[in-house]
Structure 1
Amino acid sequence: MNTLSIVIPALNEAENLPSVLASIPFAELKDEGWQTEVVVVDNGSTDGTGEVARTLGARVVHQPARGYGNAYRAGFEAATGDVIATGDADRTYPFDALPRLLRTLVSHDVEFMTTNRLVDGNSEAMKTSHSLANYLLSAISRTLFRNDLRDSQSGMWVFRRYVWQRLDVRSTGMAFSQEIKNAATRAGYRYLEIPIEYRKRGGQVKLNAFRDGTENLRQLFEHNFRRTHPVRRPVLSNPAREYDPA
Protein backbone atom coordinates (compact mmCIF):
# COMPACT_ATOMS: atom_id res chain seq x y z
CA MET A 1 0.00 0.00 0.00
CA ASN A 2 0.94 3.64 -0.38
CA THR A 3 1.74 5.37 2.91
CA LEU A 4 0.27 8.71 3.98
CA SER A 5 1.10 10.88 6.98
CA ILE A 6 -1.43 13.58 7.91
CA VAL A 7 0.44 16.20 9.94
CA ILE A 8 -1.67 18.61 12.01
CA PRO A 9 -0.11 21.39 14.13
CA ALA A 10 -2.21 22.22 17.17
CA LEU A 11 -2.05 24.92 19.83
CA ASN A 12 -4.90 24.71 22.36
CA GLU A 13 -7.27 22.95 19.95
CA ALA A 14 -8.69 20.27 22.29
CA GLU A 15 -12.27 21.30 21.54
CA ASN A 16 -11.77 21.08 17.75
CA LEU A 17 -9.74 17.88 17.44
CA PRO A 18 -12.62 15.39 17.76
CA SER A 19 -14.40 16.97 14.77
CA VAL A 20 -11.18 17.33 12.78
CA LEU A 21 -10.06 13.72 13.21
CA ALA A 22 -13.60 12.43 12.64
CA SER A 23 -13.60 14.17 9.25
CA ILE A 24 -10.64 12.11 7.97
CA PRO A 25 -12.07 9.35 5.71
CA PHE A 26 -9.82 6.50 6.84
CA ALA A 27 -11.97 3.75 5.30
CA GLU A 28 -12.07 5.45 1.89
CA LEU A 29 -8.35 6.09 1.99
CA LYS A 30 -7.72 2.44 2.79
CA ASP A 31 -9.99 1.32 -0.05
CA GLU A 32 -7.95 3.49 -2.40
CA GLY A 33 -4.69 1.93 -1.25
CA TRP A 34 -3.45 4.34 1.41
CA GLN A 35 -2.12 3.26 4.79
CA THR A 36 -2.68 6.36 6.90
CA GLU A 37 -1.21 7.75 10.11
CA VAL A 38 -2.16 11.00 11.85
CA VAL A 39 0.58 13.02 13.53
CA VAL A 40 -0.67 15.81 15.79
CA VAL A 41 2.00 18.28 16.88
CA ASP A 42 1.18 19.71 20.30
CA ASN A 43 2.82 23.13 20.09
CA GLY A 44 2.93 23.95 23.79
CA SER A 45 -0.80 23.64 24.51
CA THR A 46 -2.24 24.20 27.97
CA ASP A 47 -5.71 22.70 27.41
CA GLY A 48 -4.87 19.02 27.08
CA THR A 49 -4.63 19.03 23.27
CA GLY A 50 -2.03 16.24 23.26
CA GLU A 51 -4.06 13.99 25.53
CA VAL A 52 -7.21 14.46 23.45
CA ALA A 53 -5.33 13.69 20.23
CA ARG A 54 -3.84 10.54 21.72
CA THR A 55 -7.21 9.21 22.88
CA LEU A 56 -8.51 9.77 19.34
CA GLY A 57 -5.80 7.52 17.91
CA ALA A 58 -3.29 10.10 16.69
CA ARG A 59 0.43 9.91 17.27
CA VAL A 60 1.39 12.97 19.29
CA VAL A 61 4.63 14.90 18.88
CA HIS A 62 5.42 17.59 21.44
CA GLN A 63 7.09 20.76 20.17
CA PRO A 64 7.40 23.24 23.05
CA ALA A 65 8.99 25.93 20.85
CA ARG A 66 5.88 27.72 19.66
CA GLY A 67 5.44 28.73 16.06
CA TYR A 68 3.69 27.35 12.98
CA GLY A 69 6.96 26.54 11.28
CA ASN A 70 8.45 24.97 14.39
CA ALA A 71 5.41 22.71 14.71
CA TYR A 72 5.62 21.56 11.10
CA ARG A 73 9.33 20.84 11.33
CA ALA A 74 8.71 18.52 14.26
CA GLY A 75 5.76 16.89 12.51
CA PHE A 76 7.58 16.32 9.23
CA GLU A 77 10.54 14.85 11.09
CA ALA A 78 8.22 12.36 12.80
CA ALA A 79 6.17 11.51 9.69
CA THR A 80 6.82 8.09 8.15
CA GLY A 81 4.59 8.27 5.05
CA ASP A 82 5.91 8.57 1.52
CA VAL A 83 3.28 11.30 1.05
CA ILE A 84 2.52 14.02 3.60
CA ALA A 85 -0.77 15.92 3.85
CA THR A 86 -1.32 18.91 6.10
CA GLY A 87 -4.09 21.05 7.54
CA ASP A 88 -4.88 23.06 10.64
CA ALA A 89 -6.64 21.74 13.74
CA ASP A 90 -9.29 24.48 13.72
CA ARG A 91 -11.87 22.77 11.45
CA THR A 92 -11.25 25.13 8.51
CA TYR A 93 -9.64 22.63 6.11
CA PRO A 94 -11.55 19.81 4.34
CA PHE A 95 -9.73 16.63 5.35
CA ASP A 96 -12.64 14.75 3.80
CA ALA A 97 -11.32 15.92 0.41
CA LEU A 98 -8.06 13.98 0.81
CA PRO A 99 -9.05 11.02 -1.42
CA ARG A 100 -9.78 13.44 -4.28
CA LEU A 101 -6.57 15.38 -3.70
CA LEU A 102 -4.49 12.20 -3.60
CA ARG A 103 -6.06 10.91 -6.81
CA THR A 104 -5.08 14.17 -8.47
CA LEU A 105 -1.55 14.01 -7.04
CA VAL A 106 -1.07 10.57 -8.56
CA SER A 107 -2.88 11.07 -11.87
CA HIS A 108 -1.09 14.37 -12.60
CA ASP A 109 2.29 13.07 -11.38
CA VAL A 110 2.57 16.02 -8.98
CA GLU A 111 5.31 16.33 -6.37
CA PHE A 112 3.98 19.31 -4.43
CA MET A 113 0.27 20.16 -4.34
CA THR A 114 -1.09 23.23 -2.62
CA THR A 115 -4.65 24.51 -2.27
CA ASN A 116 -6.54 27.70 -3.02
CA ARG A 117 -9.07 28.98 -0.47
CA LEU A 118 -9.61 32.32 -2.26
CA VAL A 119 -12.43 31.11 -4.49
CA ASP A 120 -16.15 31.84 -4.74
CA GLY A 121 -18.13 30.45 -1.83
CA ASN A 122 -15.44 30.73 0.83
CA SER A 123 -15.64 34.44 1.65
CA GLU A 124 -17.81 34.05 4.76
CA ALA A 125 -15.32 31.72 6.42
CA MET A 126 -12.55 34.33 6.60
CA LYS A 127 -12.40 37.75 8.27
CA THR A 128 -12.28 40.64 5.80
CA SER A 129 -8.91 41.81 7.13
CA HIS A 130 -7.46 38.31 6.75
CA SER A 131 -8.91 37.97 3.26
CA LEU A 132 -7.39 41.27 2.11
CA ALA A 133 -4.02 40.33 3.61
CA ASN A 134 -4.13 36.97 1.81
CA TYR A 135 -4.86 38.59 -1.55
CA LEU A 136 -2.11 41.17 -1.08
CA LEU A 137 0.56 38.72 0.08
CA SER A 138 -0.36 36.25 -2.66
CA ALA A 139 -0.06 38.96 -5.34
CA ILE A 140 3.38 40.00 -4.07
CA SER A 141 4.48 36.37 -3.82
CA ARG A 142 3.40 35.66 -7.42
CA THR A 143 5.29 38.71 -8.64
CA LEU A 144 8.51 37.77 -6.85
CA PHE A 145 8.52 34.01 -7.41
CA ARG A 146 6.63 33.83 -10.75
CA ASN A 147 4.75 30.66 -9.82
CA ASP A 148 1.18 31.90 -10.42
CA LEU A 149 -0.11 30.51 -7.10
CA ARG A 150 -3.36 32.29 -6.22
CA ASP A 151 -3.23 31.57 -2.46
CA SER A 152 0.28 31.74 -1.03
CA GLN A 153 -0.99 31.45 2.55
CA SER A 154 -3.07 28.27 2.40
CA GLY A 155 -2.16 25.70 5.04
CA MET A 156 -3.29 22.56 3.22
CA TRP A 157 -0.66 20.82 1.11
CA VAL A 158 -0.10 17.28 -0.17
CA PHE A 159 3.43 16.40 -1.24
CA ARG A 160 6.04 13.69 -1.60
CA ARG A 161 8.14 13.47 1.56
CA TYR A 162 11.41 13.66 -0.38
CA VAL A 163 10.48 17.18 -1.49
CA TRP A 164 10.61 18.42 2.10
CA GLN A 165 13.90 16.64 2.71
CA ARG A 166 15.53 18.63 -0.11
CA LEU A 167 14.15 22.11 0.60
CA ASP A 168 15.76 25.02 2.43
CA VAL A 169 12.84 26.33 4.52
CA ARG A 170 13.80 28.55 7.45
CA SER A 171 10.66 30.21 8.83
CA THR A 172 9.59 29.28 12.36
CA GLY A 173 6.24 31.08 12.27
CA MET A 174 3.33 31.68 9.90
CA ALA A 175 5.62 32.58 6.99
CA PHE A 176 6.46 28.87 6.78
CA SER A 177 3.32 28.39 4.66
CA GLN A 178 4.39 30.70 1.86
CA GLU A 179 8.05 29.73 2.12
CA ILE A 180 7.52 26.00 1.58
CA LYS A 181 5.44 26.72 -1.55
CA ASN A 182 7.92 29.19 -2.98
CA ALA A 183 10.88 26.95 -2.16
CA ALA A 184 9.27 23.94 -3.85
CA THR A 185 8.17 25.80 -6.97
CA ARG A 186 11.42 27.71 -7.41
CA ALA A 187 13.43 24.49 -7.04
CA GLY A 188 11.51 23.03 -9.99
CA TYR A 189 9.34 20.38 -8.37
CA ARG A 190 6.21 19.50 -10.31
CA TYR A 191 3.39 21.39 -8.62
CA LEU A 192 -0.31 22.10 -8.86
CA GLU A 193 -2.81 24.32 -7.06
CA ILE A 194 -6.28 22.94 -6.32
CA PRO A 195 -9.35 24.93 -5.19
CA ILE A 196 -10.86 23.71 -1.92
CA GLU A 197 -13.73 24.49 0.40
CA TYR A 198 -12.68 26.63 3.37
CA ARG A 199 -14.82 26.44 6.51
CA LYS A 200 -15.50 28.63 9.52
CA ARG A 201 -13.02 28.30 12.32
CA GLY A 202 -13.92 26.65 15.59
CA GLY A 203 -12.65 28.26 18.79
CA GLN A 204 -10.34 31.23 19.23
CA VAL A 205 -8.61 32.92 16.29
CA LYS A 206 -4.85 33.03 16.92
CA LEU A 207 -3.71 34.81 13.76
CA ASN A 208 -2.65 38.45 14.15
CA ALA A 209 -3.22 39.95 10.70
CA PHE A 210 -0.87 42.94 11.13
CA ARG A 211 1.98 41.21 12.97
CA ASP A 212 1.96 38.03 10.91
CA GLY A 213 1.34 39.90 7.66
CA THR A 214 4.31 42.20 8.28
CA GLU A 215 6.59 39.26 9.04
CA ASN A 216 5.38 37.39 5.96
CA LEU A 217 6.10 40.42 3.79
CA ARG A 218 9.62 40.69 5.19
CA GLN A 219 10.21 36.99 4.62
CA LEU A 220 9.08 37.16 0.98
CA PHE A 221 11.78 39.67 0.09
CA GLU A 222 14.45 37.86 2.15
CA HIS A 223 13.62 34.57 0.45
CA ASN A 224 13.58 36.14 -3.01
CA PHE A 225 17.26 37.02 -2.73
CA ARG A 226 18.27 33.62 -1.40
CA ARG A 227 20.23 31.28 -3.63
CA THR A 228 18.26 28.20 -4.74
CA HIS A 229 19.63 24.91 -6.02
CA PRO A 230 17.14 23.75 -8.67
CA VAL A 231 16.01 20.20 -9.34
CA ARG A 232 17.51 19.10 -12.64
CA ARG A 233 14.56 17.67 -14.51
CA PRO A 234 11.63 18.96 -16.60
CA VAL A 235 8.61 20.53 -14.90
CA LEU A 236 5.01 20.63 -16.04
CA SER A 237 4.08 23.15 -18.71
CA ASN A 238 2.13 25.94 -16.95
CA PRO A 239 2.29 23.84 -13.76
CA ALA A 240 0.31 26.06 -11.39
CA ARG A 241 -2.87 26.11 -13.43
CA GLU A 242 -5.93 25.56 -11.28
CA TYR A 243 -7.25 22.03 -11.41
CA ASP A 244 -10.32 21.62 -13.57
CA PRO A 245 -12.35 18.65 -12.26
CA ALA A 246 -14.12 18.45 -15.63
Structure 2
Amino acid sequence: MTDYSPADPAAPLRADIVLPCLDEAEALPQVLSRIPDGWRAVVVDNGSTDGSAEIARSLGATVVHEPRRGFGSACHAGLLAAEAEYVCFCDCDGTLDPALLPGFVRRIADGESDLLLGRRRPTTRGAWPLHARAGNAALARMLRRRTGLRLHDLGPMRAVRRETLLALGLTDRRSGYPLEMVVRASDAGLRVAETDVPYLPRTGRSKVTGTWRGAWHAVRDMRAVLREPEPQTPRDVRAEATG
Protein backbone atom coordinates (compact mmCIF):
# COMPACT_ATOMS: atom_id res chain seq x y z
CA MET A 1 0.00 0.00 0.00
CA THR A 2 1.33 3.44 -0.92
CA ASP A 3 2.43 5.59 2.03
CA TYR A 4 1.09 9.12 1.59
CA SER A 5 2.14 10.36 5.03
CA PRO A 6 4.21 13.58 5.13
CA ALA A 7 7.85 13.44 6.20
CA ASP A 8 8.87 14.38 9.72
CA PRO A 9 8.27 18.15 9.99
CA ALA A 10 11.23 18.41 12.38
CA ALA A 11 13.68 17.43 9.62
CA PRO A 12 16.33 20.15 9.06
CA LEU A 13 15.83 20.43 5.30
CA ARG A 14 14.20 23.64 4.10
CA ALA A 15 12.71 24.66 0.77
CA ASP A 16 10.73 27.39 -0.94
CA ILE A 17 7.42 26.27 -2.45
CA VAL A 18 6.35 28.07 -5.63
CA LEU A 19 2.56 28.33 -5.94
CA PRO A 20 1.37 29.76 -9.30
CA CYS A 21 -1.90 31.54 -8.63
CA LEU A 22 -4.76 32.86 -10.74
CA ASP A 23 -7.97 33.55 -8.80
CA GLU A 24 -7.53 30.94 -6.06
CA ALA A 25 -8.93 32.95 -3.13
CA GLU A 26 -11.18 30.07 -2.09
CA ALA A 27 -8.42 27.46 -1.93
CA LEU A 28 -5.50 29.50 -0.58
CA PRO A 29 -6.29 29.33 3.17
CA GLN A 30 -6.34 25.52 3.17
CA VAL A 31 -3.30 25.20 0.90
CA LEU A 32 -1.19 27.65 2.91
CA SER A 33 -2.16 25.94 6.16
CA ARG A 34 -0.38 22.83 4.82
CA ILE A 35 2.98 24.51 4.17
CA PRO A 36 5.64 22.68 6.25
CA ASP A 37 6.99 24.49 9.30
CA GLY A 38 10.02 26.61 8.48
CA TRP A 39 9.35 26.54 4.74
CA ARG A 40 8.45 29.59 2.65
CA ALA A 41 5.41 29.79 0.39
CA VAL A 42 6.02 31.90 -2.71
CA VAL A 43 2.62 32.70 -4.19
CA VAL A 44 3.00 34.06 -7.72
CA ASP A 45 -0.06 36.12 -8.58
CA ASN A 46 -0.63 35.92 -12.34
CA GLY A 47 -3.33 38.58 -12.64
CA SER A 48 -5.92 37.54 -10.05
CA THR A 49 -9.00 39.71 -9.63
CA ASP A 50 -10.49 37.96 -6.58
CA GLY A 51 -8.10 39.23 -3.92
CA SER A 52 -5.85 36.15 -3.99
CA ALA A 53 -2.68 38.19 -3.50
CA GLU A 54 -4.04 39.99 -0.44
CA ILE A 55 -5.26 36.74 1.11
CA ALA A 56 -1.91 35.04 0.52
CA ARG A 57 0.00 37.95 2.03
CA SER A 58 -2.28 38.05 5.07
CA LEU A 59 -1.58 34.36 5.65
CA GLY A 60 2.18 34.87 5.69
CA ALA A 61 3.12 33.95 2.13
CA THR A 62 5.65 35.84 0.05
CA VAL A 63 3.70 37.29 -2.88
CA VAL A 64 5.30 37.87 -6.29
CA HIS A 65 3.35 39.63 -9.04
CA GLU A 66 3.90 38.31 -12.56
CA PRO A 67 1.91 40.36 -15.10
CA ARG A 68 2.79 38.17 -18.09
CA ARG A 69 0.04 35.57 -18.30
CA GLY A 70 1.05 31.93 -18.54
CA PHE A 71 1.72 29.02 -16.23
CA GLY A 72 5.39 29.02 -17.16
CA SER A 73 5.70 32.75 -16.54
CA ALA A 74 4.31 32.29 -13.03
CA CYS A 75 6.48 29.26 -12.26
CA HIS A 76 9.66 30.90 -13.48
CA ALA A 77 8.97 34.12 -11.60
CA GLY A 78 8.64 32.01 -8.46
CA LEU A 79 11.87 30.20 -9.22
CA LEU A 80 13.71 33.50 -9.58
CA ALA A 81 12.23 34.71 -6.30
CA ALA A 82 13.17 31.52 -4.44
CA GLU A 83 16.21 31.62 -2.18
CA ALA A 84 16.41 28.20 -0.54
CA GLU A 85 18.70 25.40 -1.74
CA TYR A 86 15.65 23.37 -2.74
CA VAL A 87 12.63 24.63 -4.65
CA CYS A 88 9.30 22.87 -4.94
CA PHE A 89 6.30 23.52 -7.16
CA CYS A 90 2.68 22.86 -6.31
CA ASP A 91 -0.72 23.97 -7.57
CA CYS A 92 -2.63 26.14 -5.12
CA ASP A 93 -6.12 24.95 -6.05
CA GLY A 94 -6.41 22.38 -3.26
CA THR A 95 -5.77 19.31 -5.42
CA LEU A 96 -2.33 18.59 -3.95
CA ASP A 97 -1.00 18.60 -0.39
CA PRO A 98 2.17 20.70 0.16
CA ALA A 99 2.76 18.84 3.43
CA LEU A 100 4.04 15.90 1.35
CA LEU A 101 6.94 17.89 -0.11
CA PRO A 102 9.50 17.33 2.69
CA GLY A 103 9.52 13.70 1.60
CA PHE A 104 10.35 14.80 -1.93
CA VAL A 105 13.20 17.02 -0.79
CA ARG A 106 14.58 14.32 1.50
CA ARG A 107 14.87 11.91 -1.41
CA ILE A 108 16.75 14.50 -3.45
CA ALA A 109 19.05 15.35 -0.54
CA ASP A 110 19.72 11.62 -0.02
CA GLY A 111 20.80 11.27 -3.64
CA GLU A 112 17.89 9.15 -4.90
CA SER A 113 16.89 11.64 -7.60
CA ASP A 114 17.69 15.07 -9.01
CA LEU A 115 14.14 15.96 -10.10
CA LEU A 116 11.22 14.25 -8.38
CA LEU A 117 7.67 14.50 -9.72
CA GLY A 118 4.40 13.62 -8.03
CA ARG A 119 2.37 11.01 -9.92
CA ARG A 120 -1.24 11.98 -9.32
CA ARG A 121 -3.53 9.28 -7.94
CA PRO A 122 -7.15 10.54 -7.90
CA THR A 123 -8.95 10.03 -4.60
CA THR A 124 -12.40 10.35 -6.17
CA ARG A 125 -13.79 9.61 -9.61
CA GLY A 126 -14.24 13.25 -10.55
CA ALA A 127 -10.93 14.57 -9.19
CA TRP A 128 -9.12 14.31 -12.54
CA PRO A 129 -11.31 14.84 -15.65
CA LEU A 130 -11.04 12.19 -18.35
CA HIS A 131 -9.88 14.60 -21.06
CA ALA A 132 -7.08 15.90 -18.83
CA ARG A 133 -5.94 12.36 -18.01
CA ALA A 134 -6.02 11.34 -21.68
CA GLY A 135 -3.92 14.33 -22.72
CA ASN A 136 -1.44 13.65 -19.94
CA ALA A 137 -1.11 9.99 -20.92
CA ALA A 138 -0.47 10.90 -24.55
CA LEU A 139 2.24 13.36 -23.56
CA ALA A 140 3.86 10.78 -21.29
CA ARG A 141 4.11 8.40 -24.23
CA MET A 142 5.64 11.08 -26.45
CA LEU A 143 8.06 11.99 -23.67
CA ARG A 144 9.12 8.35 -23.40
CA ARG A 145 9.91 8.24 -27.12
CA ARG A 146 11.84 11.50 -26.89
CA THR A 147 13.85 10.83 -23.72
CA GLY A 148 13.42 7.21 -22.70
CA LEU A 149 11.95 8.27 -19.35
CA ARG A 150 9.17 5.93 -18.26
CA LEU A 151 7.02 8.48 -16.45
CA HIS A 152 3.27 8.18 -16.09
CA ASP A 153 2.43 11.76 -15.17
CA LEU A 154 3.72 15.26 -15.85
CA GLY A 155 2.01 16.69 -12.81
CA PRO A 156 2.69 20.07 -11.20
CA MET A 157 4.02 18.81 -7.85
CA ARG A 158 7.80 18.46 -7.99
CA ALA A 159 11.06 19.24 -6.22
CA VAL A 160 14.61 20.01 -7.35
CA ARG A 161 17.69 21.91 -6.25
CA ARG A 162 17.25 25.55 -7.19
CA GLU A 163 20.67 26.03 -8.82
CA THR A 164 20.27 22.82 -10.80
CA LEU A 165 16.97 24.02 -12.24
CA LEU A 166 18.29 27.50 -13.06
CA ALA A 167 21.16 25.89 -14.97
CA LEU A 168 18.69 24.24 -17.36
CA GLY A 169 17.82 27.62 -18.88
CA LEU A 170 14.09 27.01 -19.32
CA THR A 171 12.46 29.30 -21.91
CA ASP A 172 8.82 28.19 -22.20
CA ARG A 173 6.45 30.56 -20.41
CA ARG A 174 3.14 28.83 -21.13
CA SER A 175 1.79 25.37 -20.38
CA GLY A 176 4.90 23.68 -21.78
CA TYR A 177 7.05 24.76 -18.83
CA PRO A 178 6.59 21.57 -16.73
CA LEU A 179 7.39 19.35 -19.71
CA GLU A 180 10.37 21.44 -20.77
CA MET A 181 11.74 21.05 -17.25
CA VAL A 182 11.64 17.26 -17.58
CA VAL A 183 13.02 17.16 -21.14
CA ARG A 184 15.94 19.46 -20.38
CA ALA A 185 16.67 17.65 -17.14
CA SER A 186 16.87 14.36 -19.03
CA ASP A 187 19.06 15.88 -21.76
CA ALA A 188 21.37 17.25 -19.06
CA GLY A 189 21.92 13.86 -17.44
CA LEU A 190 19.75 14.46 -14.39
CA ARG A 191 17.97 11.58 -12.69
CA VAL A 192 14.22 12.10 -13.05
CA ALA A 193 11.77 10.00 -11.04
CA GLU A 194 8.17 10.05 -9.85
CA THR A 195 6.33 9.07 -6.68
CA ASP A 196 2.63 8.61 -5.99
CA VAL A 197 0.64 11.48 -4.46
CA PRO A 198 -3.11 11.70 -3.74
CA TYR A 199 -5.02 13.98 -6.09
CA LEU A 200 -8.10 15.69 -4.67
CA PRO A 201 -11.02 17.50 -6.33
CA ARG A 202 -10.02 21.11 -6.90
CA THR A 203 -11.50 24.02 -4.98
CA GLY A 204 -13.19 26.40 -7.38
CA ARG A 205 -13.21 26.40 -11.18
CA SER A 206 -10.28 25.20 -13.26
CA LYS A 207 -8.69 27.67 -15.69
CA VAL A 208 -6.77 25.09 -17.73
CA THR A 209 -7.52 21.36 -17.62
CA GLY A 210 -11.10 21.77 -16.43
CA THR A 211 -12.25 22.30 -20.01
CA TRP A 212 -11.54 20.57 -23.30
CA ARG A 213 -10.31 23.86 -24.76
CA GLY A 214 -7.93 24.46 -21.86
CA ALA A 215 -6.61 20.91 -22.05
CA TRP A 216 -6.08 21.26 -25.82
CA HIS A 217 -4.07 24.46 -25.37
CA ALA A 218 -1.92 22.77 -22.71
CA VAL A 219 -1.24 19.76 -24.94
CA ARG A 220 -0.43 22.06 -27.88
CA ASP A 221 2.14 23.95 -25.82
CA MET A 222 3.72 20.75 -24.57
CA ARG A 223 3.88 19.13 -28.00
CA ALA A 224 5.81 22.17 -29.21
CA VAL A 225 8.41 21.44 -26.51
CA LEU A 226 8.73 17.83 -27.65
CA ARG A 227 9.31 18.94 -31.26
CA GLU A 228 12.44 20.85 -30.26
CA PRO A 229 15.59 19.03 -31.47
CA GLU A 230 17.77 17.17 -29.02
CA PRO A 231 21.06 18.92 -28.21
CA GLN A 232 24.02 17.53 -30.12
CA THR A 233 26.21 17.63 -27.02
CA PRO A 234 23.95 17.50 -23.96
CA ARG A 235 25.18 19.51 -21.02
CA ASP A 236 25.70 17.30 -17.97
CA VAL A 237 24.23 19.58 -15.32
CA ARG A 238 24.33 16.83 -12.72
CA ALA A 239 28.08 16.43 -13.13
CA GLU A 240 28.55 20.16 -12.77
CA ALA A 241 26.32 20.29 -9.69
CA THR A 242 28.13 17.46 -7.92
CA GLY A 243 31.60 18.10 -9.26
- Structure 2 partner of 1:112: 115
- Structure 1 partner of 2:146: 144
TM-score by length of 2: 0.85
Query: What does residue range 48-197 of structure 1 map to in structure 2 within 5 Å?
Result: 48-117=51-120, 119=121, 121=123, 124-151=126-153, 153-197=154-198
Alignment check: 8 A CA contact 1:114 1:181 kept: no
Secondary structure at 1:162 match in 2: helix
Secondary structure at 1:206 match in 2: coil
Q: Which runs of 5+ in 1 are unaligned?
A: 27-34, 235-246
Work out whether 1:9 is the aligned partner of 2:2. no
Alignment check: 8 A CA contact 1:110 1:191 kept: yes
Deviation, structure 1 residue 105: 2.4
Letter in 2 for 1:218: A
Alignment check: 8 A CA contact 2:164 2:237 kept: no
Per-residue CA deviation, residues 121-175 of structure 1 (Å, 9 max, x unaligned), is: 5653111111111101111111111122221x21011111111121021111111
Alignment check: 8 A CA contact 2:187 2:231 kept: no
Alignment check: 8 A CA contact 2:87 2:159 kept: yes
- Structure 2 partner of 1:29: none
Letter in 1 for 2:181: I
Say what the alpha-carbon RMSD is for the aligned residues.
Answer: 1.9
Return the alpha-carbon distance in structure 1 between the equivalents of residues 124 and 169 of structure 2: 32
Q: Which runs of 5+ in 2 are unaligned?
A: 1-11, 209-213
Distance 1:203 1:220, change over 3 A: same
Letter in 2 for 1:8: L
What percent of counterpart residues are identical? 33
Secondary structure at 1:110 match in 2: coil
What is the number of residues matched between the two proteins? 223
Work out whether 1:25 is the aligned partner of 2:25. no
Return the alpha-carbon distance in structure 2 between the equivalents of residues 168 and 206 of structure 1: 27
Deviation, structure 1 residue 232: 6.5
Q: 1:220 pairs with 194, 205, 226, which one?
A: 226
Alignment check: 8 A CA contact 1:115 1:196 kept: yes
Return the alpha-carbon distance in structure 2 between the equivalents of residues 25 and 5 of structure 1: 10
- Structure 1 partner of 2:6: none
Alignment check: 8 A CA contact 2:127 2:202 kept: yes
TM-score by length of 1: 0.84
Alignment check: 8 A CA contact 1:2 1:82 kept: no
- Structure 1 partner of 2:211: none
- Structure 2 partner of 1:30: none
